């Protein structure tokens, strides 16, 4: 396994990337002066992969299967991975998103031993009727916990208000009813389809060298034959399901998410699109914007106010969110501001301020091991190399941002999700 050096003269940073003979992509980002190391292994298999093709065979699985599989991989015939990490002193975790599943740890000592545990974890599936059934109770409790979270509910209610058919409108963990249908055979189908090393990425950030990582991977990773997989996604109309959804919760201050749905191809946005969107939204909703000042003057928002861009395979939405004493009034002010923005365009001064802020925040992110490892992995799965992302931000023009605006923030195609008290 030979590493290729990837560097950015603009940022003054570098990392190393190789494709191992097993098919695993390995990325090592040494950070001078860092005592700790952050490592992760991920697969491009998340909650929206409920229907897919594998080597010509169509497979459908119950909602929540990807998350269930994440839980079960920590268990093997010779013990639980968390118990093994307790002996090395590493802090381990995992997560499942809509598009991927990731296993990770951070450590200051015994890096080799900890990485070997991580590699064993993803190579030794152990699913039996008894162990799979035992996990149902644990995950059922996790599902109920999310059901009781107002932040989670306002988000999932929004997705159900925006999307008719796309599986992003389904909870990542599924439901108590759907996970009861998961069997060892279903888990093995998913594992054999998507935990193939040709579909996986390892990222190491911090106090580690490419030679050290190469030695560990060579000694532990087993070869894999490529598997042909592809996700099956339904056609999703442009129009939202509803323009308003509400849920009553025991909260002191109502919270809201206002989502603007946009047309979404069944691929990922590129670096230029993301850069233009980020600058657009920071200029529109940032603390120096006219919209922010008006909402503050009307006492309709607090420090929780912000935005995010949700995008993936077949889904794209701009989401503006926060807490408000009157979410409907805040949403009307936002939609009025959107219409003026489409009429007048982004002002040059707002664009330049937002561009500096977005670029500065991106540069600062290179000092955070966990976010850097996540961006490296996400970039590998989406085809968005991180240094090219920095170049895209630096190269975006005001004209690029206003052209991107034409595709986003449709005030006639949005949904307001609200969670409020009695």
Which of the residues are catalytic?
70
Contacts of 411 (CB under 8 A, 6+ apart): 260, 335, 338, 339, 342
Task: Find, among 263, 267, 382, 379, the residue nearest to 313 by Cα.
Answer: 267
- Residue 349: exposed, middle, or buried by beta-carbon count in 10 A (0-12, 13-18, 19+)? exposed
Residue 314: burial class (beta carbons within 10 Å; 0-12, 13-18, 19+): buried
CA quadruple 61, 62, 67, 73: dihedral sign: negative
> Residue 125 half-sphere exposure, CB side, CA atoms within 13 Å?
19
276, 284, 275: which is closest to 400 by C-alpha?
Answer: 276
**Residues composing the chain:** 422
User: What stretches of 60-164 show up as alpha helix (H) in DSSP?
Assistant: 65-72, 81-88, 111-123, 129-147, 150-162
Q: Indicate the SS3 state at residue 106.
A: strand
Nearest to 54 by CA among 268, 198, 267, 180: 198
- What is the spatial distance between Cα 52 and Cα 378, in angstroms, rounded to a whole number? 20
Q: Spell out the alpha helix ranges (H) of 73-128.
A: 81-88, 111-123
Per the CB < 8 A criterion, the answer to whether 349 and 336 are in contact is no
């Amino acid at each position: 396994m030979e590493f290729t050096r990837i560097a950015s003269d603009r940022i003054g940073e570098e990392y190393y990337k190789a494709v191992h003979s097993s098919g695993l992509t390995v990325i090592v980002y040494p950070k001078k002066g860092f005592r700790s190391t952050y490592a992760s292994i991920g697969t491009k298999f998340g909650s929206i992969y409920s229907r897919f093709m594998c080597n010509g065979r169509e497979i459908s699985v119950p909602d929540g299967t990807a998350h269930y599989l994440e839980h079960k991989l920590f268990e093997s015939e010779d013990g639980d991975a968390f118990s093994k990490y307790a002996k090395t002193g590493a802090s381990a975790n995992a997560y499942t998103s809509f598009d991927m599943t990731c296993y990770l740890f951070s450590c200051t000592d015994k890096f080799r031993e900890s990485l070997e545990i991580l590699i064993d974890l993803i190579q030794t599936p152990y699913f039996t009727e008894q162990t799979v059934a035992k996990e149902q109770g644990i995950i059922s409790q996790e599902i109920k916990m999310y059901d009781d979270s107002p932040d989670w509910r306002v988000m999932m209610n929004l997705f159900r208000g925006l999307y008719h058919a796309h599986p992003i409108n389904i909870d990542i963990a599924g439901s108590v009813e759907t996970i009861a249908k998961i069997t060892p055979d279903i888990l093995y189908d998913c594992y054999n389809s998507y935990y193939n090393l040709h579909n996986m990425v390892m990222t190491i950030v911090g106090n580690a060298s490419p030679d050290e990582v190469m030695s560990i991977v060579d000694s532990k990773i087993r070869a894999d034959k490529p598997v042909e997989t592809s996700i099956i996604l339904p056609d999703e109309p442009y129009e939202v399901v509803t323009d308003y959804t509400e849920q009553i919760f025991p909260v002191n201050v109502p919270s809201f998410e206002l989502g603007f749905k946009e047309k979404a191809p069944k691929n990922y946005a590129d670096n230029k699109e993301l850069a233009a969107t980020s600058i657009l939204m920071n200029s529109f909703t940032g603390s120096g914007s006219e919209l922010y000042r008006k909402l503050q003057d009307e006492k309709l928002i607090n420090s929780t106010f912000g935005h995010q861009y949700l995008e993936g395979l077949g889904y794209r939405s701009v989401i503006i969110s926060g807490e408000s004493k009157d979410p409907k009034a805040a949403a009307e002010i936002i939609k009025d501001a959107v219409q003026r923005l489409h009429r007048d365009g982004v002002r040059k001064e707002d664009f330049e301020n937002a561009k500096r802020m977005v670029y500065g925040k991106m540069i600062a992110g290179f000092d955070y091991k966990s976010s850097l490892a996540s961006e490296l992995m996400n970039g590998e799965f989406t085809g968005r190399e991180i240094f090219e992302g920095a170049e895209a931000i630096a190269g975006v023009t005001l004209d690029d941002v206003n052209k991107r605006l034409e595709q986003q923030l449709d005030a006639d195609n949005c949904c307001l999700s609200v969670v409020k008290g009695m």
